[in-house]
Structure 1
Amino acid sequence: MILIFLFSLVLSIILIIVNSLIAKKSTMDREKPSPFECGFDPKSTARVPFSLRFYLIALVFLIFDVEITLILPIPVLPILSNTLPLLILSCFFIIILIVGLFHEWNEGALNWDK
Structure 2
Amino acid sequence: MLGVGALLRPKSIPTRRGTQAYECGEDPIGSAWVKFNIRFYVVAIIFIIFDVEVAAVLPVATQFKEAVLNGGAGLVFAELFLFIALLILGLIYCWVRGDLEWVKGVTLNAPKK
Structure 1 unaligned segments of length 5 or more: list them: 1-30
For residues 66 and 19 of structure 2, what CA distance do their matches in structure 1 show?
A: 54
1:75 aligns with 2:75: no
Give the SS at the match of 2:61: coil
For residues 29-73 of structure 1, give each alpha carbon's deviation from its aligned partner in whole angstroms, at most 9, with x where no partner exists.
Answer: xx9x76757xxx865236532221111111111111111122223
Match of 1:85 in 2: 75
For residues 17-36 of structure 1, the aligned pairs below 5 Å read 36=21
Match of 2:98 in 1: 108
The ranges of structure 1 where at least 4 consecutive aligned residues each deviate by more than 6 angstroms after the TM superposition are: none
Paired AA for residue 51 in structure 2: D
RMSD over equivalenced CA pairs, Å:
2.8
For residues 20 and 64 of structure 2, what CA distance do their matches in structure 1 show?
A: 52
Aligned residues: 80
For residues 92 and 110 of structure 1, what CA distance do their matches in structure 2 show?
A: 23
For residues 49-107 of structure 1, give each alpha carbon's deviation from its aligned partner in whole angstroms, at most 9, with x where no partner exists.
Answer: 22211111111111111111222233322233321110111111111011111101011
Relative to the length of structure 2, the TM-score reads: 0.56
For residues 3-14 of structure 1, the aligned pairs below 5 Å read none
What fraction of aligned residue pairs are identical, expressed as a percent? Answer: 35
Relative to the length of structure 1, the TM-score reads: 0.56
1:56 aligns with 2:56: no
Alpha-carbon distance change, 36 to 71 in structure 1, aligned in 2, over 3 angstroms: farther
Whichever structure has more helix as a proportion of its residues is: 1
